[in-house]
């Protein structure tokens, strides 16, 4: 009777709510045959078929096993099939085992810039500041990659192009073109910046360079490091596509977050040191820097006869603190370059620092990687996240640069800039930024000071 009830239940579940008690043995056999045909199990010939309970029990077991095999086959097929995901982080294509992955991401930044005052030396304009599609992913468990071109501006260029050999989270080898590990703000993604443009301190830090770097995280991310050998980039700029002087630069960084992941008011504290050392020999923009204001106007440059002629060293203590909606980020950087001109030599040491504070008014957490709104705009009455920012920074030129190595009539001895801003994160992908920035200049050796730079910047950012 138990077998008969099982057969009746199987038949009822597949073909409708029929009462088991009303089914005859012949009817159960007929319905079992239909299930066998549906499952692809060959039924016995009518002449040879045994219609007893033992025979029905055997056929039921065969049917159950066949269904189990089909379910296992479907699960294996689903596991091996490639997976496609499209969300706020872009589009991702991943192999069934997860070892191979391709991600499509992007960053688009469009600015409106208005310079204030009758002595403004720049034009008001709309500007496509950034247009960067990105391809990144993995090739097996050991190799990751990233390729990012820059399509904004008058010509296309390559921003990032590197591969990671991932031996272990504590030991990863990166090869290619990427950001040199010196400046704190330089290492921050432009999509996560608190303000429209980077601070004056970033003018002394190298940007992207070509080289090889060993990096890693240990102790659950509470300590990270990077150490690499590079062609060498001038302050505040990307390196050129090849090594122009046959000299190399050693750059590295250590960073500590001692209470990361712990239930402590200081869990968001991080601090570290970045540094670089190398030689540069040559004249022109590939060897000596020009320093720019937040409005991207040059306020210091060397005379055309000056050569980089010797060691170039940088060091930068840096840190951040984030707690709930409050964020504070700061760094100090020194760049020391040996120069020569007309038989004279000097080691010029320029210094800069910046401090940036932010406060998220809508309750989300502030972080080095930006803000994600808890209630995106337009979703269930959400209004996004609102953040207020303030920044102050200075860049001081070595007094020994004037007047022999730099012209005091066109170059400032010091720039001091402050910025007030508001950021509206409508969604995780859409951000509106407004800044008021004011930069003042100190002149060298009795020369007239450059006029103040006062400007209002607005930015629409789309990122995924």
CATH of the domain at 281: 2.40.160.10
pLDDT of 260 over the 50 cut: yes
Say if residue 17 is in the same domain as residue 113: no
Say if residue 414 is in the same domain as residue 349: yes
Q: What percent of the chain has pLDDT over 90?
A: 77
Give the span between the Cα atoms of 435 and 456, in whole angstroms. 6
User: Each residue of 415-426: pLDDT tens digit?
Assistant: 999 999 999 999
Give the span between the Cα atoms of 414 and 200, in whole angstroms. 11
The pTM of this model reads 0.82
Whether residue 43 contacts residue 49, with contact meaning beta carbons closer than 8 Å, is answered with: yes
Q: With respect to residue 174, please indicate whether it lies within any of the assigned structural domains.
A: no
**β-pairing verdict for 125-139 and 83-87:** unpaired
Domain of 410, in residue numbers: 105-131+186-207+225-463
Q: Which of 53-57, 91-95, 355-359 has the highest mean pLDDT?
A: 355-359
Say if residue 120 is in the same domain as residue 74: no
| Angle of helix 2-15 versus helix 53-80 axis, rounded to 10 | 50
pLDDT of 389 over the 90 cut: yes
Q: What is the dihedral of CA 146, 238, 294, 361, to 10 degrees?
A: 20
Say if residue 247 is in the same domain as residue 300: yes
Q: With respect to residue 148, please indicate whether it lies within any of the assigned structural domains.
A: no
Buried-exposed string 10-28: b where 16+ CB fall within 10 A, e elsewhere: bbeeeeeeeeeeebeeeeb
Q: What pLDDT score does 21 carry?
A: 43
Q: With respect to residue 99, please indicate whether it lies within any of the assigned structural domains.
A: no
Q: What percent of the chain has pLDDT over 70?
A: 90
């Amino acid at each position: 009777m138990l077998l008969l009830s099982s057969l009746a239940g199987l038949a009822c579940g597949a073909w409708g709510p029929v009462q088991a008690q009303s089914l005859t043995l012949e009817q159960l056999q007929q319905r079992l045959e239909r299930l066998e045909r549906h499952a692809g199990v060959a039924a016995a010939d009518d002449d040879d078929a045994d219609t007893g309970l033992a025979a029905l029990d055997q056929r039921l077991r065969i049917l159950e096993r066949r269904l189990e095999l089909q379910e296992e086959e479907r699960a294996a097929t689903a596991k091996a099939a490639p997976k496609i995901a499209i969300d706020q982080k872009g589009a991702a294509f991943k192999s069934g085992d997860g070892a191979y992955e391709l991600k499509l991401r992007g960053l688009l930044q469009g600015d409106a810039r208005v310079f204030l005052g009758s002595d403004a030396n720049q034009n008001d304009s709309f500007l496509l500041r950034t247009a960067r599609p990105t391809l990144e992913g993995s090739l097996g468990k050991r190799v990751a990659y990233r390729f990012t071109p820059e399509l904004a501006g008058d010509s296309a260029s390559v921003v990032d192009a590197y591969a990671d050999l991932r031996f272990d989270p504590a030991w990863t080898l990166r090869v290619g073109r990427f950001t040199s590990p010196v400046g704190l703000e330089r290492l921050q993604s432009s999509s996560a910046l608190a303000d429209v443009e980077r601070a004056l301190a970033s003018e002394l830090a190298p940007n992207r360079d070509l080289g090889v770097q060993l990096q890693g995280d240990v102790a659950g991310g509470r300590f990270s490091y990077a150490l690499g050998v590079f062609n060498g980039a001038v302050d505040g700029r990307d390196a050129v596509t090849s090594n122009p002087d046959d000299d190399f630069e050693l750059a590295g960084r250590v960073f500590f977050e001692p209470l990361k992941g712990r239930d402590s008011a200081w869990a968001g504290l991080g601090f570290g040191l970045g540094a670089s050392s190398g030689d540069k020999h040559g004249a022109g923009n590939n060897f000596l820097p020009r320093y720019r204001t937040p409005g991207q106007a040059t306020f210091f440059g060397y005379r055309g006869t000056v050569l980089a002629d010797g060691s170039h060293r940088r060091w930068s203590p840096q840190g951040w603190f984030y707690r709930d909606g409050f964020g504070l980020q700061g760094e100090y950087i020194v760049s020391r370059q040996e120069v020569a001109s007309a038989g004279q030599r000097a080691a010029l040491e320029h210094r800069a620092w910046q401090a940036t504070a932010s406060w998220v008014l809508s309750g989300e957490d502030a972080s080095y990687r930006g803000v994600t709104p808890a209630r995106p705009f337009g979703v269930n009455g959400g209004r996004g996240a609102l953040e207020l920012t303030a920044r102050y920074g200075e860049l001081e030129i070595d007094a020994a640069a004037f007047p022999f190595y730099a012209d005091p009539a066109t170059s400032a001895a010091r720039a001091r800039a402050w910025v007030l801003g508001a950021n509206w994160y409508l969604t995780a992908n859409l951000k509106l930024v407004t800044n008021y920035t004011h930069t003042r200049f100190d002149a060298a050796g009795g020369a007239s000071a450059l006029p103040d730079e006062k400007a209002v910047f607005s930015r629409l950012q789309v990122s995924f």
